[in-house]
Amino acid sequence: MLAVLMAPRGLAIPDVHEQLFQAAERLLLREDAADLSGRAVTREAGLAVGLLHNHFGDFDSFLSAFVLDRLRRAAASFGDLPSRAGTGTVAGNLTDAAQSLLGPDTLVLSRLVASRPSVLARSIHAHTAAAHPRSLLETAVFSYLQREQQLGRVEDDADIEATAVALVATVHQLLLMPRSDEQAASDVLLRVTAVLVSGIAGRSR
Protein backbone atom coordinates (compact mmCIF):
# COMPACT_ATOMS: atom_id res chain seq x y z
CA MET A 1 0.00 0.00 0.00
CA LEU A 2 1.28 3.41 -0.86
CA ALA A 3 2.19 5.59 2.05
CA VAL A 4 0.93 8.64 0.25
CA LEU A 5 -2.59 7.29 0.33
CA MET A 6 -2.64 6.79 4.04
CA ALA A 7 -3.68 9.26 6.66
CA PRO A 8 -0.83 11.11 8.33
CA ARG A 9 0.55 9.34 11.30
CA GLY A 10 2.30 10.57 14.37
CA LEU A 11 0.72 13.99 14.13
CA ALA A 12 -0.58 15.16 17.46
CA ILE A 13 -4.32 15.70 17.25
CA PRO A 14 -5.48 18.63 19.32
CA ASP A 15 -8.18 18.02 21.88
CA VAL A 16 -8.54 14.34 21.23
CA HIS A 17 -10.45 13.95 24.46
CA GLU A 18 -12.99 16.59 23.58
CA GLN A 19 -13.37 15.29 20.03
CA LEU A 20 -14.14 11.83 21.33
CA PHE A 21 -16.45 13.19 23.99
CA GLN A 22 -18.44 15.12 21.44
CA ALA A 23 -18.67 12.09 19.18
CA ALA A 24 -20.01 10.02 22.06
CA GLU A 25 -22.47 12.77 22.87
CA ARG A 26 -23.77 12.89 19.32
CA LEU A 27 -24.20 9.13 19.31
CA LEU A 28 -26.05 9.08 22.61
CA LEU A 29 -28.42 11.73 21.33
CA ARG A 30 -28.95 10.01 18.03
CA GLU A 31 -28.97 6.31 18.89
CA ASP A 32 -29.61 3.92 21.74
CA ALA A 33 -27.20 4.01 24.62
CA ALA A 34 -26.93 0.24 24.45
CA ASP A 35 -25.43 0.54 20.98
CA LEU A 36 -22.64 2.80 22.13
CA SER A 37 -19.26 1.20 21.52
CA GLY A 38 -15.68 2.33 21.30
CA ARG A 39 -15.76 1.55 17.61
CA ALA A 40 -18.79 3.69 17.08
CA VAL A 41 -17.23 6.60 18.94
CA THR A 42 -14.00 6.67 16.98
CA ARG A 43 -15.87 6.18 13.74
CA GLU A 44 -18.18 9.07 14.55
CA ALA A 45 -15.18 11.20 15.47
CA GLY A 46 -13.39 10.23 12.28
CA LEU A 47 -10.38 9.00 14.20
CA ALA A 48 -8.51 5.73 14.41
CA VAL A 49 -9.82 3.01 16.66
CA GLY A 50 -6.63 2.69 18.64
CA LEU A 51 -6.77 6.30 19.69
CA LEU A 52 -9.42 5.71 22.28
CA HIS A 53 -7.39 2.99 23.92
CA ASN A 54 -4.18 4.95 23.72
CA HIS A 55 -5.74 7.81 25.60
CA PHE A 56 -8.06 6.08 28.01
CA GLY A 57 -6.80 2.55 28.41
CA ASP A 58 -10.09 0.86 27.75
CA PHE A 59 -13.65 1.70 26.83
CA ASP A 60 -14.94 1.70 30.39
CA SER A 61 -12.37 4.23 31.45
CA PHE A 62 -13.34 6.38 28.51
CA LEU A 63 -16.94 6.34 29.63
CA SER A 64 -15.99 7.32 33.17
CA ALA A 65 -13.87 10.20 31.94
CA PHE A 66 -16.70 11.24 29.69
CA VAL A 67 -19.23 11.21 32.49
CA LEU A 68 -16.93 13.10 34.82
CA ASP A 69 -16.25 15.73 32.21
CA ARG A 70 -19.88 16.34 31.36
CA LEU A 71 -20.75 16.26 35.02
CA ARG A 72 -18.25 18.96 35.72
CA ARG A 73 -19.75 21.02 32.96
CA ALA A 74 -23.29 20.56 34.22
CA ALA A 75 -22.20 21.38 37.75
CA ALA A 76 -20.44 24.53 36.60
CA SER A 77 -23.57 25.93 35.05
CA PHE A 78 -25.57 24.83 38.05
CA GLY A 79 -23.09 25.69 40.75
CA ASP A 80 -23.91 29.34 41.02
CA LEU A 81 -27.43 28.61 42.09
CA PRO A 82 -26.68 28.95 45.82
CA SER A 83 -25.14 32.36 45.24
CA ARG A 84 -28.41 33.60 43.82
CA ALA A 85 -30.18 33.16 47.14
CA GLY A 86 -32.00 36.31 48.13
CA THR A 87 -32.19 37.64 44.61
CA GLY A 88 -35.20 37.44 42.32
CA THR A 89 -37.79 34.94 43.46
CA VAL A 90 -37.32 31.44 44.79
CA ALA A 91 -39.46 29.94 42.06
CA GLY A 92 -37.66 31.94 39.42
CA ASN A 93 -34.22 30.89 40.55
CA LEU A 94 -35.15 27.25 40.73
CA THR A 95 -36.82 27.34 37.36
CA ASP A 96 -33.84 29.02 35.75
CA ALA A 97 -31.48 26.46 37.18
CA ALA A 98 -33.69 23.57 36.17
CA GLN A 99 -34.09 24.91 32.66
CA SER A 100 -30.35 25.14 32.29
CA LEU A 101 -30.21 21.39 32.80
CA LEU A 102 -32.61 20.64 29.96
CA GLY A 103 -29.71 20.43 27.54
CA PRO A 104 -27.94 17.56 25.85
CA ASP A 105 -25.27 17.30 28.53
CA THR A 106 -27.65 16.11 31.19
CA LEU A 107 -29.65 13.92 28.85
CA VAL A 108 -26.52 12.13 27.79
CA LEU A 109 -25.49 11.62 31.37
CA SER A 110 -28.86 10.22 32.33
CA ARG A 111 -28.95 7.75 29.51
CA LEU A 112 -25.44 6.60 30.14
CA VAL A 113 -25.91 6.13 33.84
CA ALA A 114 -29.16 4.26 33.32
CA SER A 115 -27.57 2.05 30.71
CA ARG A 116 -24.35 1.17 32.50
CA PRO A 117 -24.72 1.81 36.21
CA SER A 118 -21.98 -0.55 37.28
CA VAL A 119 -19.30 0.90 35.07
CA LEU A 120 -19.99 4.43 36.13
CA ALA A 121 -20.47 3.63 39.79
CA ARG A 122 -17.03 2.08 39.84
CA SER A 123 -15.26 4.84 38.00
CA ILE A 124 -17.02 7.70 39.67
CA HIS A 125 -16.31 6.22 43.02
CA ALA A 126 -12.66 5.91 42.07
CA HIS A 127 -12.16 9.37 40.67
CA THR A 128 -14.20 11.77 42.68
CA ALA A 129 -15.63 12.39 46.06
CA ALA A 130 -19.06 12.96 44.60
CA ALA A 131 -21.00 9.90 45.58
CA HIS A 132 -23.39 10.17 42.66
CA PRO A 133 -23.87 12.53 39.76
CA ARG A 134 -27.40 13.28 40.80
CA SER A 135 -26.41 14.17 44.31
CA LEU A 136 -24.18 16.86 42.90
CA LEU A 137 -27.15 18.66 41.47
CA GLU A 138 -29.32 17.94 44.46
CA THR A 139 -26.68 19.36 46.70
CA ALA A 140 -26.64 22.60 44.77
CA VAL A 141 -30.39 22.94 45.04
CA PHE A 142 -30.26 21.97 48.68
CA SER A 143 -27.57 24.56 49.43
CA TYR A 144 -29.56 27.20 47.68
CA LEU A 145 -32.73 26.37 49.56
CA GLN A 146 -30.81 26.33 52.82
CA ARG A 147 -29.66 29.87 52.24
CA GLU A 148 -33.15 30.94 51.30
CA GLN A 149 -34.35 29.34 54.51
CA GLN A 150 -31.84 31.39 56.44
CA LEU A 151 -33.10 34.44 54.59
CA GLY A 152 -36.64 33.59 55.56
CA ARG A 153 -37.88 33.13 52.04
CA VAL A 154 -38.46 29.44 52.67
CA GLU A 155 -40.35 28.15 55.66
CA ASP A 156 -38.20 26.84 58.48
CA ASP A 157 -39.94 23.50 58.66
CA ALA A 158 -39.97 22.93 54.90
CA ASP A 159 -38.47 19.65 53.73
CA ILE A 160 -35.95 21.21 51.41
CA GLU A 161 -34.09 17.97 50.84
CA ALA A 162 -37.20 16.29 49.47
CA THR A 163 -37.87 19.35 47.39
CA ALA A 164 -34.41 19.18 45.86
CA VAL A 165 -34.83 15.51 45.09
CA ALA A 166 -38.17 16.06 43.39
CA LEU A 167 -36.91 18.93 41.32
CA VAL A 168 -33.83 17.18 40.03
CA ALA A 169 -35.76 13.99 39.43
CA THR A 170 -38.32 15.80 37.32
CA VAL A 171 -35.65 17.39 35.17
CA HIS A 172 -33.95 14.08 34.60
CA GLN A 173 -37.16 12.33 33.82
CA LEU A 174 -38.24 14.96 31.35
CA LEU A 175 -35.00 14.38 29.56
CA LEU A 176 -35.13 10.62 29.57
CA MET A 177 -38.68 10.30 28.35
CA PRO A 178 -39.34 13.31 26.21
CA ARG A 179 -42.91 14.39 25.67
CA SER A 180 -44.33 14.45 22.20
CA ASP A 181 -44.48 18.22 22.37
CA GLU A 182 -40.97 19.44 22.98
CA GLN A 183 -42.06 22.88 23.99
CA ALA A 184 -44.08 21.33 26.77
CA ALA A 185 -41.01 20.18 28.68
CA SER A 186 -40.11 23.70 29.59
CA ASP A 187 -43.65 24.50 30.66
CA VAL A 188 -44.03 21.38 32.72
CA LEU A 189 -40.80 22.09 34.49
CA LEU A 190 -41.95 25.60 35.29
CA ARG A 191 -45.21 24.37 36.69
CA VAL A 192 -43.59 21.62 38.75
CA THR A 193 -41.29 24.18 40.26
CA ALA A 194 -44.27 26.29 41.13
CA VAL A 195 -45.98 23.43 42.88
CA LEU A 196 -42.87 22.59 44.83
CA VAL A 197 -42.26 26.16 45.82
CA SER A 198 -45.86 26.62 46.88
CA GLY A 199 -45.31 23.77 49.30
CA ILE A 200 -42.27 25.29 50.94
CA ALA A 201 -42.36 29.01 50.34
CA GLY A 202 -42.55 31.36 53.29
CA ARG A 203 -45.56 33.56 53.94
CA SER A 204 -43.80 36.36 52.19
CA ARG A 205 -44.36 34.81 48.85
Residues 63-122 touching a copy of itself, rule: CB under 8 A, are 110-111, 113-120
Q: Work out whether 36 is an interface residue with a copy of itself (CB under 8 A).
A: yes
DSSP calls for 21-78: HHHHHHHHHHS-GGG--HHHHHHHHT--HHHHHHHHSSHHHHHHHHHHHHHHHHHHHH
d(CA 186, CA 170) in angstroms, rounded, equals 11
d(CA 186, CA 178) in angstroms, rounded, equals 11
d(CA 25, CA 18) in angstroms, rounded, equals 10
Residue range at the interface with DNA (CB under 7 A); choices 49-57, 143-151, 154-162, 185-193: 49-57
Contact of residue 132 among DNA, a copy of itself, none (CB under 5-8 Å per partner type): a copy of itself
CB of 97 to DNA, least distance (A): 35
Q: Work out whether 191 is an interface residue with a copy of itself (CB under 8 A).
A: yes
Neighbours of 97 (CB within 10 A): 24
The count of residues interacting with a copy of itself (CB under 8 A) is 46
Q: Work out whether 51 is an interface residue with DNA (CB under 7 A).
A: yes
Q: Work out whether 174 is an interface residue with a copy of itself (CB under 8 A).
A: yes
In terms of CB distance, is 29 or 162 closer to DNA? 29
CB of 200 to DNA, least distance (A): 45
**Cα–chain-centroid distance for residue 70?**
6
Residues that bind DNA (CB under 7 A): 1, 3, 6-13, 16, 35, 37-40, 47-55, 57-60
